[in-house]
């Protein structure tokens, strides 16, 4: 298919490849490998074909879509500065033979509904057999027939429209003539992949209306020991304790589930496979103390500490000190009240 210098298909009326766009939210406990799953899925995708953004409480619609900002070049001008959403849409429009991806990390740590704004409507896609030849441009209704994979609805945004067209009055995308009167839709060659924690205590809740427009895929919190890196993570020794990370992981997650049974946040309190990473087959005592023990003390067993931690450990400082520098006659895991149960579990993990 011949393209002009911009990468735009200039064959009028020609058809585009049949892309099936994905809209998936990968969810699971912290550290289970959600981001890594996306990274692995897209490892062979060129950098120009993907944009990654992280939602957070201060992230805004203007940053995501774009905004008018001042620029100084001898004098002050005000120009539209595109956000990642607009940048990836333009790349997808101008390169209809390639697949593009917008990756949103921690989609529910920002106010997703406010960040998407009216572009929320674009998340509904035309299904097989569905078409829309109207859009908001009646003068070109006969030519502009949107088919499977395009957004079912549209939004009008003159700044985004002008950014996509550049200096051209109009551009041709298959049988779509995109001019100044054409509304914005997601194209079939643009997928959106996102991550979120299972039921995390986030600043914002991702409502059902938003989730309905995505496929949900659970990233299971489990060790696939057929993979060398995962096997090494399971067998990493927690400093000089003789206890492997995978063994402790299994024991503590079972304990978390049993101790917090019935609480809505139980899912996200469990430790992910990659909650901490090994270095050369070892998980350093300081790393374990400052990350794992701190998390267990501050977040997981905040209201259950006397049931879990040994007698006399009444502060986080004592907990970490007792693990990193156990007193004479003590061992590191004596910080847990039922260390004997951990030892038994290690000896027979099926308990």
Nearest CA to 158 among 140, 122, 139, 183?
183
Q: Report DSSP letters for 75-109, one per residue.
A: SEEEEEEE-HHHHHHHHHHH-TTS-EEEEEETTTS
User: For the whole model, what pTM was predicted?
Assistant: 0.85
Domains of the chain: which residue ranges? 23-218, 228-347
The pLDDT tens digits of the residues spanning 232-245 come to 999 999 999 999 99
Q: How do the pLDDT tens digits run along the chain, 351 residues long?
A: 333 333 444 332 345 567 899 999 999 988 899 999 999 999 999 999 999 999 999 999 999 999 988 888 888 888 999 999 999 999 999 999 999 999 999 998 999 999 999 999 999 999 988 888 765 556 655 567 888 999 999 999 999 999 999 999 988 887 788 999 899 999 999 999 999 987 655 566 777 888 889 999 999 999 999 999 999 999 999 999 999 999 999 999 999 999 988 766 677 789 999 999 999 999 999 999 999 999 999 999 999 999 999 999 999 999 999 999 999 889 999 999 999 999 998 887 654
- Largest interatomic CA distance in the chain: 86
Q: 304-319: per-residue pLDDT in tens?
A: 999 999 999 999 999 9
Burial of 290 (0-12, 13-18, 19+ CB in 10 A): middle
To 5 degrees, how large is the angle CA 154–CA 156–CA 159?
A: 135
Of all helices (H) and strands (E), which one includes residue 70?
strand 66-72
Cβ proximity of 193 and 24 under 8 Å: yes
Task: Please give the CATH architecture assigned to the domain spanning 23-218.
Answer: 3-Layer(aba) Sandwich (3.40)
């Amino acid at each position: 298919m011949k393209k002009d210098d911009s990468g735009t298909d200039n064959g009028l009326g020609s058809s585009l490849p049949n892309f099936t766009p994905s809209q998936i939210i990968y969810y699971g406990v912290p550290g289970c490998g959600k981001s890594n799953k996306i990274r692995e899925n897209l490892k062979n995708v060129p950098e120009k074909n993907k944009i990654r953004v992280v939602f957070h409480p201060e992230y805004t619609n203007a940053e995501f879509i774009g905004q008018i900002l001042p620029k100084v070049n001898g004098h002050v001008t005000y120009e539209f500065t595109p956000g990642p959403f607009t940048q990836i849409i333009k790349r997808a429009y101008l390169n209809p033979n390639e697949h593009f991806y917008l990756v949103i990390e921690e989609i529910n740590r920002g106010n997703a509904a406010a960040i998407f704004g009216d572009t929320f409507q674009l998340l509904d896609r035309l299904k097989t057999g569905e078409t829309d030849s109207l859009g908001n441009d009646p003068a070109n209704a006969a030519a502009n027939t949107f088919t499977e994979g395009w957004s079912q609805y549209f939004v009008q945004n003159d700044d985004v429209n002008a950014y996509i067209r550049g200096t051209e009055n109009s551009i041709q995308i298959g049988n779509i003539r995109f001019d100044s009167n054409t509304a914005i839709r997601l194209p079939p060659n643009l997928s959106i992949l996102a991550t979120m924690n299972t039921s995390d205590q986030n600043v914002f809740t991702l409502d059902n209306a938003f989730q309905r427009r995505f496929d949900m895929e659970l990233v299971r919190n489990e060790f696939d020991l057929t993979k060398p890196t995962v096997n090494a993570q399971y067998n990493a020794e927690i400093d000089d304790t003789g206890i492997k990370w995978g063994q402790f992981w299994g024991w503590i997650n079972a304990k978390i589930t049993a101790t917090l049974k019935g609480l809505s946040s139980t899912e996200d309190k469990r430790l992910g496979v990659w909650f901490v990473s090994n270095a050369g087959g070892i998980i350093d005592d300081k790393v374990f103390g400052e990350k794992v023990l701190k998390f267990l003390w501050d977040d997981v067993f905040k209201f259950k500490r006397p049931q879990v931690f040994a007698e006399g450990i009444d502060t986080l400082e004592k907990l970490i000190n007792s693990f990193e520098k156990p007193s004479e006659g003590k061992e590191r895991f004596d910080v847990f009240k039922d260390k004997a149960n951990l030892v038994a579990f290690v000896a027979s993990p099926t308990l």
